[in-house]
């Protein structure tokens, strides 16, 4: 049955699909109609360093797993890819549907310029080669939420190919060590999405809403295993992956399943499997019927999509009707890898920190606003933002935009800390108060709670002296050379001063008084 198709060819009319290749390329196990040669041709790329999925068992051949991800990402636009219907969440069923979206006879697709720009921008950001000519095709299958009986996609010649994405993983023994890795992007294509099906098993019916499909970001994984040096194995496609955690789990399971199957003399079928979240395994979705054949054909209603650059742009062209790749390249914002590098250089932070700053929405902006307003060292700001601020956010599951503490408030707090007006522990106390949203500034909290550090050195010396007098045994331990004894003294002085003394200064005074 076309159950696999339910999640595959989803419509929404403004999608880009990226083929991301983890290690080497995939060989499609069985040809799918006339397009098989082209798919295989694209798949058999040059040798890539193979990654072993796991430690080999004793006395057996090493196995290498090959993983390819198929990512469906919805383009952010006002209207759909091929029609002028609105793109919006939570609208009444079928209210965002035009005659074309309902596949009424005689309607034609009209390409949305914004979607093409988005696809080109994505291709450029992922270091792809942008095809100046790309083509649209029809991919046929039957499902209730695909009323046309086909999906318009870019199977033969997509808009962008051969890209890459560099990312970092935290590994290695040193703290903050990030190992850079690169994954290849096979292609990026524009395609329609399907509608949404609600299955009513009780009444044996399916309710169809053609507004849009579910999910702004969906992933399917293609997995195969083989022995290094030998040809690629048969791949399976795994669907129903609803989180990164499940994606990882499903891929791990599938790799193991395939290895076990092959080691027991079985064979891997080129099939679609569904990931079962509760059981943590993949289950075959194929039915006993004939294999799916999508009968790809060129979309007869759409001419080739032509893109231009500064050199090839026709001079008399209507600017609304041409897309200039170079112009779009200039519109690209600073890419994350460049930003991260800049943060490391400019603020001396660990690469690991730069990743964290960029991975949380709004956090980088927050950080930069604090830096702007405070005198404190960037390293101090980094530490406070990434450890304390982020920690509080995560504890209450808040986004940066929902934070009770503004960049200005944190900047003021860090200034108080930097000027040694308050101690580090007092600062944390103030932060906790700020989080309560009582509208007080750090300065106000400090005065109300009397958290200012003692500035009177004489008084502090007096405290130190009396503590030492009251604890002669500890003083003896210090003089004997016990390194921890002095901390005990410091603690006692702190308690005596109601925590209003800087431990570093206490230590200094004690050491002086003890003539150490």
Q: Contact positions toward other proteins, by CB under 8 A?
A: 1-3, 77-79, 83-86, 92-99, 101-102, 104, 110-116, 135, 140, 142-144, 156, 197-201, 204-210, 287, 289-290, 293, 295, 298, 300, 302-306, 320-321, 323
Shortest distance, position 248 Cβ to other proteins, whole Å: 30
Cα 231 to Cα 223: distance, rounded to the nearest angstrom: 14
Shortest distance, position 145 Cβ to other proteins, whole Å: 8
- Contact, 452 vs 416, CB < 8 A? no
Any idea which residue has 């960049």 for tokens?
A: 407
DSSP E strand stretches across 195-308? 196-200, 205-209, 217-226, 236-241, 272-276, 281-284, 297-298, 305-306
Which of 92, 65, 71, 96 lies closest to 83 in space, CA to CA? 96
Which of 90, 28, 483 lies closest to 236 in space, CA to CA? 28
Which of 420, 411, 363 lies closest to 390 in space, CA to CA? 363
Q: Which is nearer to other proteins, 114 or 227 (CB)?
A: 114
3-state secondary structure 359-419: HCCCHHHHHHHHHHHCCCCHHHHHHHHHHHHHHHHHHCCCCHHHCCCCHHHHHHHHHHHHC
Shortest distance, position 78 Cβ to other proteins, whole Å: 5
Q: Quick one: DSSP state of residue 283? A: E
Q: Which is nearer to other proteins, 174 or 289 (CB)?
A: 289
Shortest distance, position 401 Cβ to other proteins, whole Å: 26
Q: Which is nearer to other proteins, 36 or 166 (CB)?
A: 36
Cα 493 to Cα 511: distance, rounded to the nearest angstrom: 13
- Contact, 389 vs 410, CB < 8 A? yes
Which of 461, 442, 449 lies closest to 507 in space, CA to CA? 461
Q: Which is nearer to other proteins, 113 or 245 (CB)?
A: 113
Shortest distance, position 126 Cβ to other proteins, whole Å: 22
Q: Which is nearer to other proteins, 271 or 373 (CB)?
A: 271
Q: Which is nearer to other proteins, 291 or 512 (CB)?
A: 291
Shortest distance, position 377 Cβ to other proteins, whole Å: 46
Q: Which is nearer to other proteins, 21 or 145 (CB)?
A: 145
Shortest distance, position 104 Cβ to other proteins, whole Å: 8
């Amino acid at each position: 049955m076309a159950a696999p198709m339910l999640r595959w060819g989803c419509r929404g009319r403004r999608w880009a699909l990226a083929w991301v290749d983890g290690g080497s390329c995939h060989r499609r196990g069985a040809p799918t109609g006339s397009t098989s040669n082209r798919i295989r041709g694209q798949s058999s790329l040059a040798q890539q360093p193979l990654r072993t999925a796991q430690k080999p068992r004793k006395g057996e051949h090493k196995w290498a797993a090959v993983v390819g991800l198929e990512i469906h990402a919805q383009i952010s636009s006002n209207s759909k890819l091929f029609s002028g219907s609105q793109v919006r969440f939570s609208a009444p069923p079928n209210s965002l549907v035009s005659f074309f979206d309902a596949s009424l006879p005689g309607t034609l697709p009209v390409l949305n310029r914004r979607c093409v720009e988005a696809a080109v921008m994505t291709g450029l950001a992922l270091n792809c080669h942008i095809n100046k000519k790309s083509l649209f095709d029809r991919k046929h299958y039957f499902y209730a939420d695909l009323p046309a009986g086909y999906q318009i996609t870019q199977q033969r010649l997509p808009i962008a190919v051969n890209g890459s994405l560099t990312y970092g993983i935290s590994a290695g023994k040193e703290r903050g060590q990030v190992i850079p890795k690169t994954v290849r992007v096979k292609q990026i294509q524009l395609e329609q999405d399907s509608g949404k099906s609600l299955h009513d098993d009780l009444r044996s019916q399916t309710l169809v809403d053609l507004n849009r499909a579910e999910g702004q970001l969906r992933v399917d994984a293609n997995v195969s295993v083989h022995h290094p040096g030998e040809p690629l194995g048969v791949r399976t496609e795994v669907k129903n992956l609803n989180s990164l955690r499940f994606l990882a789990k499903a891929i791990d399971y599938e790799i193991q399943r395939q290895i076990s199957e092959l080691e027991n003399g079985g064979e891997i079928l080129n099939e679609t499997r569904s990931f079962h979240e509760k059981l943590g395994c993949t289950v075959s979705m194929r039915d006993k019927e004939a294999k799916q054949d999508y009968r790809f054909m060129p979309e007869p209603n759409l001419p080739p999509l032509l893109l231009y650059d500064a050199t090839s742009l026709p001079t008399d062209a209507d600017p609304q009707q041409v897309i200039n790749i170079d112009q779009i390249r200039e519109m690209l914002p600073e890419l994350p890898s460049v930003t991260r590098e800049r943060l490391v250089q400019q603020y001396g932070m660990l690469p690991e920190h730069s990743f964290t700053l960029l991975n949380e929405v709004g956090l980088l902006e927050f950080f930069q606003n604090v830096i702007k307003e405070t005198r404190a060292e960037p390293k101090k700001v980094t530490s406070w933002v990434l450890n304390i601020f982020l920690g509080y956010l995560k504890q209450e599951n808040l986004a940066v935009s929902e934070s009770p503490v503004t960049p200005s408030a944190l900047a003021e707090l860090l200034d108080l800390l930097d000027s040694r007006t308050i101690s580090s522990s007092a600062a944390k106390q103030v932060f906790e108060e700020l989080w309560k949203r009582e509208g007080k500034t750090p300065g106000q909290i400090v005065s109300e709670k009397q958290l200012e550090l003692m500035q009177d050195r004489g008084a502090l010396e007096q405290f130190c002296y009396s503590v030492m007098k009251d604890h002669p045994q500890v003083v003896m331990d210090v003089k004997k050379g016990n390194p921890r004894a002095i901390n005990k003294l410091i603690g006692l002085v702190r308690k005596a001063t109601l925590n209003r003394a800087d431990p570093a200064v206490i230590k200094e005074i004690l050491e002086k008084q003890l003539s150490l």
